[in-house]
Amino acid sequence: MTDDIGVTPAGLRKWSPSALRAGRAIGVLSSIALTLMGLLLLTFLLARFLPADPVYAIIGDNADRDTYERVYRELGLDQPVYQQFFTYALKVVTGDLGMSHITGMPVVRDLLEVVPATLELAIVAIILGSAAGIPLGVLAGTNQNKPIDHVVRIIGLIGYSTPAFWAGMGILIIFYAQLGWIGGAGRQDPYFFGEVPTVTRLVTVDALLAGRVDIFLDALRYLVAPALILAYNALAYISRMTRSFMLEQMNQEYVVTAKAKGLSRGKVIWAHAFVNIRVQLVTIVALTFGAMLEGAVLVETVFAWPGLGQYLTRGLMFRDMNVVLGSVLVIGIFFIILNMLADFAYRQLDPRTR
Amino acid sequence: MTLLDIENLRVRYPDTHGYYEAVRGISFRLGSERLGLVGESGSGKSSVGRAIMRLLPDGVKIEADRLDLEGEDILAAPEKRMLFLRGKTMSMILQDPRFSLNPLVPVGRQIMEVYLEHVKRDVTQARARALEMLAQVRINDPERTFDLYPHEISGGMGQRVMIAMMLIAGPRLVIADEPTSALDVTVRRSVLEILDKLVTETGAGLLLISHDLAVVSQFCDRVLILYKGRIVEEIDARDLARARHPYTQALLASIPDMRHPRSHLPMLDRDAIACLDSTP
């Protein structure tokens, strides 16, 4: 705080700005390291205490005693728990997440396939969902109880209450089976498999990088339906939250000030009230995006989209612990990254948090 | 010259059974003078200020036989005209700078905004004028204060920023709605003096809304006493001690006096005043 004569606390600062920045960076990095350790511990404990015997998952229920003992030792389950944890942590840190027995591939390799597939879907969905949901929410929140408010709420309600698999199948029946406008199962026409070099593993981006517009358009045909369904779900949530954030801000005194200055309604809304909901918006958009990584199982299943949600679910169903642990780890890491980005955005958007 | 001419102004808020009448037919005129509007909480004084600016929430009914600003009927003016009048011809200083300044916009930009909207779309000039205004409200280092956010300045500075912002376009009428009630006692006087000086210099009219009789009698030429949505007394500020209306007398009696300390301050006898309610 400053006193009334207008003196700043500049003289009170003991640390130079660069030292402060370095200190903050160290703080952020150590908190990330700690969170990662916690994540490793959590996944490890998950594997140990889930009522699924990892040995039976591999050898099946009918294996004899000797085989069981052998696999038990191979998995290191005879060692003390802390040693098992260190072995596990060391393997994870060196990029070894074990083999998946459902795909017969290293989990890391599987993840390199399924994570980009999910990311491609989630990124498109979150962009569309925010681009439509935020303006709709602002519109509703600044026209409370007027017709447009009800329209937006009904749009949201439909988004909330329509099961993704039902909408997905409906769209497939009409636009794929009947009209043939969109792609069916998967990320692209199998005809194009291996046509362009793999760079980002996002089919659309790789196609553009290779200059193949035909492959890009084909990938879009496959992407559009699942992305729109996810986007619509995001829109329902984002528009509802935006509406309530705006309602709260429009009742603040500074909005009266802005009006008393003679600013137009548009400026009052966008230059004043909206500025104050950005931090909250970052939070819910980040959370919505995070939820899409694991929560898109139904959409991924209906459209046979080879993504993370589907991979994790199959891992769970077939007791493939390496798959489960690897997937949970990746999702956790994404949440850490999202949190970091959100924290960074807060500091950019709200001077009070600097 | 008459700046503001109000006849029989009524403000009604919707409530569960129809409407609640917060302002029940008040009339006054305001020229290039400082007029005080005094009343207790709920007397309707803030509603009067916001009714003149037409800044009451949707659904609140404003009615009057006459509500003229420089001869122009404000109640009939389209919203577009109101956007022009607000900030340019009339402006309003709100109570608490902690809430009335946008927390995420540097104060200099908030001041400039009015200039850009009403005077000229020229950022260089707007900045220069905003810095001038900051100096005029006696802020020591305008250049540095310009880029500060509201949370980085004190309440007294915040209210001076508010004054700079509301006076930069040279309004003819300034409505100050409890401009010092939220401030520390030690800075109230200086903030009022700055407001008083600037308003007097520009020859604008000032409507000072307050619950503080002492403040109003000091900074106003004339005082209107408002009670339950009606004006019960109009009196010259220097004659306040000779007020005739029992409500005003009761208000005056409940001001503490350092020279004659009392163990109990007299309170308003509302039943007695309620009798007067029916005879306006």
ipTM computed for the complex? 0.91
> Which residues from B are below 8 Å from A when comparing CB atoms?
50, 53, 55, 82-88, 91-92, 94-96, 99-105, 113-114, 117-118, 139-141, 144-145, 149, 151-154, 156-157, 162, 165-166, 184, 186-187
Q: State what percent of residues in chain B have pLDDT above 70.
A: 95
Domains of chain A, each with CATH number or no CATH: 9-93 (no CATH), 107-353 (1.10.3720.10)
Instruction: Report the pLDDT value the prediction gives residue A13, as an integer from 0 to 100.
Output: 53
Number of domains in chain B: 1
Average pLDDT, chain B: 89
pLDDT classification of B280: cutoffs 50, 70, 90: very low
- Indicate which of B53, B102, B154, B167 best probes the interface with A, i.e. most A CBs within 10 Å of its own CB: B102
Which stretch, A300-304, A333-337, B204-208, B257-261, has highest mean pLDDT? B204-208
Q: CB-side exposure of B209: number of CA atoms within 13 Å?
A: 23
Q: Using CA atoms, how far apart are residues A258 and A273, in angstroms rounded to an integer?
A: 9
| Other CB atoms within 10 Å distance of the CB of residue A169 | 14
- Contact list in A for residue B151 (CB cut-off 8 A) is 351-352
pLDDT classification of A202: cutoffs 50, 70, 90: confident
Instruction: Report the pLDDT value the prediction gives residue B270, as an integer from 0 to 100.
Output: 66
Greater model confidence, B96 or A46:
B96
Work out the minimum CA distance from B269 to partner chain A, whole angstroms: 34
Q: Using CA atoms, how far apart are residues A217 and A211, in angstroms rounded to an integer?
A: 11
Greater model confidence, B29 or A25:
B29
Could you give the residue ranges of the DSSP H alpha helices within B168-245? Answer: 185-202, 213-219
Q: Is A252 within 8 Å of B165 when comparing Cβ atoms?
A: no
Are the beta carbons of A238 and A284 closer than 8 angstroms?
Answer: yes
Domain that holds residue B117: 4-277
Q: Is A2 within 8 Å of B187 when comparing Cβ atoms?
A: no
- The nearest alpha carbon in chain A to B111 belongs to A261
pLDDT tens digits, B116-161: 999 999 999 999 999 999 999 999 999 999 999 999 999 999 999 9
Lowest mean pLDDT, pick from A2-16, B11-25, B186-200, B247-261: A2-16
Statement: residue A10 has pLDDT above 70: no
- Interval A226-232 mean pLDDT: 91
Q: What share of chain B is helix, strand, coil (3-state, %, to 5)?
A: 40, 25, 35
Residue B233: both structure tokens together: 């007394």
- Indicate which of B104, B154, B172, B180 best probes the interface with A, i.e. most A CBs within 10 Å of its own CB: B104
Instruction: Report the pLDDT value the prediction gives residue A106, as an integer from 0 to 100.
Output: 92
Q: CB-side exposure of B57: number of CA atoms within 13 Å?
A: 12
Q: Using CA atoms, how far apart are residues B227 and B38, in angstroms rounded to an integer?
A: 9
Instruction: Report the pLDDT value the prediction gives residue A86, as an integer from 0 to 100.
Output: 87
Q: CB-side exposure of B274: number of CA atoms within 13 Å?
A: 3
Q: Is B113 within 8 Å of A2 when comparing Cβ atoms?
A: no
- Interval A278-291 mean pLDDT: 92
Q: Is A260 within 8 Å of B141 when comparing Cβ atoms?
A: no
Could you give the residue ranges of the DSSP H alpha helices within chain A? Answer: 17-49, 54-59, 65-74, 81-93, 107-141, 147-161, 164-171, 203-209, 213-250, 253-260, 265-267, 278-295, 297-302, 308-317, 321-349
pLDDT classification of A75: cutoffs 50, 70, 90: confident
Instruction: Report the pLDDT value the prediction gives residue A3, as an integer from 0 to 100.
Output: 42
> What CATH number should be reported for the domain holding residue B236?
3.40.50.300
Q: State what percent of residues in chain A have pLDDT above 90.
A: 31
Lowest mean pLDDT, pick from A19-28, A129-138, A190-199: A190-199
